[in-house]
Amino acid sequence: MDSQEKLVLACSEVVKSYRSGSEVLTILDNLDLAVKAGEMLAITGASGSGKSTLLNLIGGLDGADSGSVSVCGEKIEALNENQRARLRNKYLGFVYQFHHLLPEFTALENVAMPRMLAGESLKAAKQAALPLLESVGMAARSDHRPSQLSGGERQRVAIARSLVTEPACVLMDEPTGNLDQGNAELVMDLISGINTRTGTAIILVTHDSGIAGRMQRRLNLVEGRLQESS
């Protein structure tokens, strides 16, 4: 298997259920998923179908009832919470519908934060962060706090932050869902450019068929399982 065929993510027979009163609702039902290095994948599905639940399992933010989730060969279910945090910071980036930037820090400090949490000095982390802000067109706004930025600008900063640790894969949960069409198109152009330039795998959850259509591969989550979609 060459580097392009290397799996960055593998889910095998993943089951996740929630109890609602006396009922047990199975959200993910023996779900399988394999994502290769550099792949751009969209996951679509009806509201409540389990798309965000699946991303939380992939990111080690929640645990499956059974089955296995591996990120870059490490089985998440075999790790304790500290080890999961280390794995997230090393291999994964996250972008959400709402940017989750820290309001008291500048754009540059927000992007640098994951590297600081990994133990780098503020100076070194900022040196790594600035080129990423430049790549998303935000270098001139690097000293602005989130409250001084537009919604589209905040999301571009969030994308830069997701890439600062040079992750193998970025998980995106409705990254354009809070943006107007113009900013949504700009964000998707950035995502495509980043994938081409860095080879970072992208897993993007969206309800928007137009956004999903811009990805290389599209899967639809139906009754707890993923189906290939044209």
Site of tokens 């949490």 = 117
Cα distances (Å, whole numbers) of residue 39 to 9, 168, 204 = 11, 10, 11
- 215 near 202, Cβ under 8 Å? yes
Q: Per residue of the chain (230 residues), what is the pLDDT tens digit?
A: 344 468 899 999 999 998 888 888 888 998 999 999 889 999 988 887 888 889 889 888 888 899 999 999 889 988 888 888 888 888 888 887 666 788 899 999 999 988 888 788 889 999 889 988 888 888 888 999 999 998 888 888 988 888 888 888 989 888 777 777 777 787 788 888 888 888 889 999 988 888 888 888 999 988 888 888 76
Strands 201-205 and 40-44: parallel
* 178 within a domain of the structure (yes/no): yes
Q: What tokens appear for 91 in the block?
A: 């291999």
- Taking CB atoms within 8 Å and a gap of at least 24, the contacts of 224-227 are 224/26, 224/27, 224/28, 224/29, 224/30, 224/31, 224/50, 225/28, 225/29, 225/30, 225/31, 225/32, 226/31, 226/32, 226/33, 226/43
Q: Is residue 33 part of a domain?
A: no
The gap between the terminal CA atoms of the chain, to the nearest Å, is 26
Q: CA torsion angle for 84, 26, 225, 100 (degrees, to 10)?
A: -40
Query: Is 113 part of any domain?
Result: yes
CB atoms within 10 A of CB 130: 17
| 8 Å CB contact between 162 and 95 | yes
pLDDT at 11: 92
Phi-psi region of 42 (alpha: psi -120 to 50; beta: other; left: phi over 0): beta
Tell me whether residue 167 is in a domain. Answer: yes
Distance CA 117, CA 107 (A): 16
Element (H, E) at 172: strand 169-173
Sheet holding 7-20, edge to edge: 23-36, 7-20, 66-71, 74-75
Query: What is the domain-level CATH number for residue 118?
Result: 3.40.50.300
- Evaluate whether 10 touches 70 at the Cβ level (below 8 Å): yes
Residue 58 lies in a domain: yes
Residue 224 falls inside a structural domain: yes
Q: Is 172 inside a domain boundary?
A: yes
Instruction: Please give the pLDDT value at position 4.
Output: 43
Task: Give how many domains the chain has, as a whole number.
Answer: 1
Print the domain residue range for 138. Answer: 38-64+87-229
Does some domain include residue 205? yes
